Amino acid sequence: MGAAIGGTFCASILVTVAQNTPAEVNRTERILRFMIASSIGLALLAIVAIIIGQLAGVNTREGIWLTVLVLPPIGLIFGVLLLIAFMVVAGIRRSRAARDAGK
């Protein structure tokens, strides 16, 4: 049994599963999801950095901190706009899939 798992048996199962699995999400949706996660994640990291900087007594009104202070509002707004775009793209894809399934 152990030899079969490490051999071609396992590879043939993976190939069969990979060929029979339909691709539900298109490339545009994957890219939008990644962009949403990165922009909101970066904004949240900037918020945490600002809080830690304030607690440590760092002057956040000079140097690189000015950039860190600007990141949360821009990142969160950009993330929300991307989320709206993702919902529109997903809605269009689902409506097309439903229309094609009805034919």
Give the structural domain span for 41. Answer: 23-101
pTM for the complete prediction? 0.70
In a domain, 14, yes or no: no
User: Token pair of 66, please?
Assistant: 């000015």
Q: Is 1 a domain residue?
A: no
Q: How confident is the model at residue 12 (pLDDT cuts 50, 70, 90)?
A: low
Q: Is 32 a domain residue?
A: yes
Average pLDDT over residues 67-96: 95
Higher pLDDT, 62 or 80: 80
Instruction: Report the b/e string of 1-37 with b at 16+ CB within 10 A.
Output: eeeeeeeeeeeeeeeeeeeeeeeeeeeeeeebeebbe
10 in any annotated domain: no
Q: Strand, helix or coil at 7? A: coil
Does any domain span residue 86? yes
Total domains in the chain come to 1
Q: Domain for residue 16, yes or no?
A: no
Q: Is residue 60 a part of any domain in this protein?
A: yes
Determine if residue 57 is left, alpha or beta; phi over 0 gives left, psi from -120 to 50 gives alpha, anything else beta. left
Condensed to tens digits (0 to 9), the pLDDT of residues 60-70 reads 888 899 999 99
Inform me whether the pLDDT recorded for 47 exceeds 60: yes
Taking alpha carbons only, the member of 14, 90, 57, 39 closest to residue 98 is 90
